[in-house]
Structure 1
Amino acid sequence: MSDAYITRIAKFLPNEPVSNDEMEAYLGYINGKPSKSKALVLRNNGIKSRYYALQKDGTATHTNAEMAALAVTRLFEKNTSEIQDVDLLSCATSSPDQLMPSHGSMVHGYLKDAGSIEVVSPSGVCCAGMHAFKYAYMSVKLGEKQKAVACASERLSPVLRSDQFEDEVQQLLKLEKNPYLAFEKDFLRWMLSDGAGAFLVESEPNTSGISLKIDWIEGCSYANEQEACMYMGADKLEDGSLKSYKDFKSEQVQEHSVFSIKQDVKLLGEKIVKLGFAKLKDILVRKGISMDEVSYFLPHLSSYFFEGKIEDFCNENGMPISKEKWYTNLVTKGNVGSASIYMMLEEVFYSGALKKGEKILLAVPESSRFSYMFCMLTVC
């Protein structure tokens, strides 16, 4: 089998960063009142700025597929004709612009200079970006592809806007109930960000400068054991099952904000760290790897609240990670879902700090139904 390397990384962030104070100017006030939970959530998640692919009046500035295509295009800025040599496009998102065609096909549609190539569209949430990456990695490693692009992108800002919840709030008012949005829906409004990232994966490293050899990528799901924790296009029933938007009447979809993105916060706190990082320990033991060998640890965090939880778990389970090795850009980029790990690695890759032989560990937890992806890279 061939080796596989990340040889280039690019990202695209729409418009200017949005500060905490500006958020409701973009997302709006529900029932004309400031959110009760905003200050609490922001204090815990530690995010100071994020990006939205929309203007303050809600007008879209970019589609999801367009942002992904712009990130891909930036991989080939120095030689624009090189995009014609790409033989695979693997595109992930949790927030496609439409149900059909596939997200990957829509991204390919923006890449007018690319050839007629294989396109795949892994679905999911945060782990989807790693699934897209793994498909590209395996295709190159098998020798079936020579120049593969993996990308991940998110555009969730439109479903975070207040007008998405107005019918639900008006229904609550009619019923003389508290018209404030339920915490499980309001929680993620202050967490999520838009943007895209892309990797170029090749069978040979760069002839000058650094590359990242992909040592392995492993993942697991606990959906057979755990109920859904984050969901969209469905409502959670008392027995923990999900009722699809397809099974609601059209007026109920609006009245219950079924297409909002929701988080079971209690379940998140109980499960997200201990399930995934117990699996990481198993992987490291099986591969005979010590955390001492890792030079950079890049965990995808939805909130800095979990940073200490991960550190405590790793310390208590014999795999301590020195804080000098940690890197995250959550504070400045927000949670960009499946694209977050791409943006983090892009910053490290072009930092000028990497030395050949150093190892980078990527960790991506996904709370939707508790899935995890881990990856080891070696600087070469």
Structure 2
Amino acid sequence: MDTSDVHLLSAGSVLPGPAVDNATLARHFSMDALWEQWVDTFIGTRSRHLAVDLSTGEVTHTLAALGAAAAQRALDRAAMRAEDVDILVMATSTPDSLMPATVNVIADRLGIDHVPSYQLQSGCSGAVQALDVARQFLSSGQYTTALVLGGDVVAPFYDVHVDLRKVPPNELVNFVLFGDGAGAAVLSRETAPGAAALRTVFTRLVGLGRPPGATLEWYGPVDRGREGPPAAEDYKAIEECVPVMAEEVLHELLDELDWHGDDIGHVLPPQLSGRMTAKIYERLGLKGHEVSCVAETGNIGNGVVFFQLERALGHLGPGERAVGISIESSKWIKAGFALEGV
């Protein structure tokens, strides 16, 4: 499908509260300097923003509030109003509730009504899936402007009173790896100054027969007493598989578009952690500018791609090319997209 007439007009992102650095986490959880050094060395994420008050455990920001703020920022930058939006697509792994869908709560906050709305339940690559769904709707010619959102809030799963000395490694990493936030982008069949053409988008499930690399449970009244962590990561499997998959995505993007690595001016690599992102970028072997934020924001799941897009759009001149890669470890999804300044 020819997608050259689909353009990324703008992007916006929002973070909750002040940055929480590793020293602050160490003090709060009564961890020693060696733990803080372990986070700096092996995770490489220096800070993150949390939608929960560490001192009280109170949730301070909802995903709907963050998403609405990010969406308004994206709309303002595109010089668009809520009534200009023809369709909404959102991706998240942590909706505020099972019903109503968070995308519809956001639409209500923005004053958007009488348009199709979709919410995708997915991990990090859900952001690219949302871009793909919106792109296909716009390419059909039925709609002109799409508001695409993504974000996650891990606050409901974040136990501020836990004794981290007793937490196993597959759960411990979640306390330092992830952050909260939301992002949005405006896609259109029309173009504008500073826009970028969305040349291609793809997502592909590649988890047949493979155990999940990440799990996030949803506990209801019947199973609240069951054993097992609400969230866990197989970080060793992620370290082993994600760089390889990221390289595969890059080659597939380049082959599809008949682009060469030297043509890429901006690279949006997976934002798993500061250390992992640096490792992946080095493996890709591209000379383009690395567009990353994870070391300061933490892994924001479905929001992180929009944070990258917000940064990239301001530097993507006419004819300049960018590639974005996202790998989801929950059941292993490869995803990527390519942009070209217009």
Q: Same fold by TM (over 0.5)? A: yes
Displacement of 1:23 in angstroms is 2.5
**Pairwise CA distance, 1:185:** 0.2
The equivalences for 1:1-380 within 5 A come to 3-24=5-26, 28-29=28-29, 38-56=36-54, 57-77=56-76, 82-111=81-110, 113-163=111-161, 165=162, 180-206=166-192, 209-233=193-217, 249-253=223-227, 256=228, 258-259=229-230, 261-311=231-281, 313-314=283-284, 320-322=285-287, 324-350=288-314, 353-380=315-342
1:80-137, Cα deviation, whole Å (9 max, x unpaired): 98211211111111111112222322322322x2222111001110001111111111
Q: Secondary structure at the match of 1:109?
A: helix
**1:39 Cα deviation after fit:** 3.5
For 1:106 and 1:156, how far apart are their aligned partners in 2? 18
Call closer, same or farther: CA 1:368–1:38 in 2, change over 3 Å. farther
CA contact (8 A) 1:300 1:365 kept: yes
| Larger CA deviation: 355-364 vs 266-275 | 266-275
Give 1:362 shift: 0.6
- CA offsets per residue over residues 179-226 of structure 1, 9 Å max, x none? 6100000012101111111100111111xx310110000122211142
How big is the shift at 1:40?
Answer: 1.4
Secondary structure of the equivalent of 2:120? coil
Give the direction of change, closer, same or farther, for the CA distance of 1:50–1:293 in structure 2 (3 Å limit): same
Q: Distance in 2 between matches of 1:290 and 1:134?
A: 23
Contact 1:44 1:303 in 2 (8 A): no
Q: Which moved more, 1:91-100 or 1:280-289?
A: 280-289
**Does 184-193 or 279-288 show the bigger shift?**
279-288
Q: Give 1:374's aligned amino acid.
A: G
The 1:106/1:14 distance shift into structure 2, 3 A limit, reads same
- Relative distance call for 1:201 and 1:65 in structure 2 (3 A) is same
Contact 1:13 1:195 in 2 (8 A): yes
The answer to whether the 8 Å contact 1:11/1:342 transfers is: yes
- AA partner of residue 207 (structure 2): A
Specify the alignment match of 1:317 in structure 2: none
Distance between the aligned counterparts of 1:79 and 1:133, measured in 2? 17
**How far is the alpha carbon of 1:265 from its aligned partner?**
1.8
Unpaired segments ≥5 residues, structure 2: none
Please list the CA deviations of residues 299-322 of structure 1 after superposition, one character each: whole Å capped at 9, or x if unmatched: 1221233245434543xxxxx301
Of 187-196 and 262-271, the range deviating more from structure 2: 262-271
Shift of 1:363: 0.7
Q: In structure 2, how many angstroms separate the alpha carbons of the residues matched to 1:151 and 1:275?
A: 25
The structure with the larger Rg is: 1
In the alignment, the residues of structure 1 paired with residue 300 and residue 109 of structure 2 have an alpha-carbon distance, to the nearest angstrom, of 21
| C-alpha distance in 2 between matches for 1:202 and 1:109 | 21
Task: Give the distance between the partners of 2:113 and 2:87, measured in 1 at CA.
Answer: 10
Q: CA RMSD in A?
A: 2.6
Contact 2:75 2:186 in 1 (8 A): no
The answer to whether the 8 A contact 1:68-1:198 is kept is yes
Stretch moving more, 94-103 or 273-282:
273-282
Residues 360 and 376 of structure 1 are in contact (CA less than 8 Å); yes or no, is this contact kept in structure 2? yes
User: What amino acid sits opposite 1:124 in the alignment?
Assistant: S
Specify the alignment match of 1:240 in structure 2: none
Q: State TM-score, norm by structure 1.
A: 0.81
Aligned length: 339
Larger mean CA deviation between 363-372 and 49-58 belongs to 49-58
The residue type paired with residue 339 of structure 2 is L
Output the amino acid matched with 1:123: Q
The DSSP-based 3-state class of the residue aligned with 1:219 is strand
Identity, % of aligned positions: 20
Aligned partners of 2:196 and 2:316 also within 8 Å: no
TM-score by length of 2: 0.90
Q: Distance in 2 between matches of 1:223 and 1:248?
A: 29
Distance verdict in 2 for CA 1:200–1:367, change over 3 Å: same
Secondary structure of 1:252's partner?
Answer: coil
CA–CA separation in structure 2 for the residues paired with 1:182 and 1:367: 19
Report if the CA contact (8 A) 1:10-1:198 is conserved: yes
1:36 positional shift: 7.4
What SS class does the counterpart of residue 198 from structure 1 fall into?
strand
Whether the aligned pair in 2 keeps the contact of 1:230 and 1:264 (CA below 8 Å) is: yes
One-letter code aligned to 1:372 = K
